[in-house]
Homo-oligomer: A and B are copies of this chain.
Amino acid sequence: MKASRTDSIKQTGRKPTLSDVARAAGVSYATADRVINDRGNVAQKSVRKVHDAMAELGYVRNVAAANLSRQRTYRLAFLLPKGRNAFFSRVRAHLDGLSEHLVADQISVDVIEIDAFEVEGLGNSLLSIVDAAYDGIAVVGLQSVDIEAPLRALREQGVVIVGLVSDLPVDYRSAYIGIDNIAAGRTAGRLLGLSHGGRKGRVQILAGSLDARDHADRLRGFREVIGQDYPNIELLEPVMTLDDARKVGAVVQQALTAEPGVTAVYNVGAGNSGLVATLEHCDRPARFFCVVHELVPHTHRALMHKQVDLVIDQRPDVEVNRALTILKALIDGRDIPPMQDLVPTIYVRDNLPSHIPDTNLTEQGDHD
Contact = CB atoms under 8 A, between A and B. Distances in A.
Interface in A1-46: 1-5
Contact of A343 (B111, B221, B344, B352): B352
Contacts of A64: 64, 67-68, 106
A345 B107 CA distance: 31
Nearest to A348: B190
A225 B195 CA distance: 16
How many copies of this chain does the complex contain?
2
A199 interface: yes
Interface of A: 1-5, 60-65, 67-68, 92, 94-99, 101-104, 106-111, 183-184, 186-187, 189-191, 194-199, 221, 225, 286-287, 309, 315, 317-318, 334, 337-341, 343-355, 357
Contact of A199 (B197, B221, B337, B338): B197
Contact of A345 (B62, B309, B345): B345
Contacts of A196: 197
Contacts of A350: 183, 186-187, 189-190, 221, 225
A348 B187 contact: yes
Contacts of A186: 350-351
Contact of A98 (B183, B187, B338): B338
Contacts of A2: 108-111
The 9 closest A-B pairs by CB, nearest first: A197-B197, A186-B350, A341-B353, A97-B338, A346-B346, A3-B99, A187-B351, A64-B64, A1-B111
A104 B334 contact: yes
Contact of A194 (B96, B189, B194): B194
A109 B2 CA distance: 6
Nearest to A3: B99
A337 B98 contact: yes
A346 to B, nearest CB: 4
Contacts of A107: 3
A195 B199 CA distance: 11
Task: Count chain B CB atoms within 10 A of each CB in A68, A184, A343, A355 and give the residue with the most.
Answer: A343
Given A184-B351, A197-B198, A343 B343 contact: no
A102 B3 contact: yes
A62, A194, A354 pick with most chain B CB within 10 angstroms = A194
B68 A65 contact: yes
Nearest to A352: B343
B1 A92 contact: yes
A130 B315 CA distance: 39
A340 B352 contact: no
Nearest to A189: B350
A285 to B, nearest CB: 11
A346 B353 contact: no
8 contacts: A1-B95, A60-B104, A97-B338, A104-B334, A194-B195, A198-B286, A340-B353, A343-B353
Contacts of A95: 1, 3
Nearest to A98: B337
A39 B348 CA distance: 51
A63 to B, nearest CB: 6
Contacts of A63: 104
Contacts of A189: 350
A62 B109 CA distance: 18
Contacts of A110: 1-3
A350 B198 CA distance: 19
A153 to B, nearest CB: 24
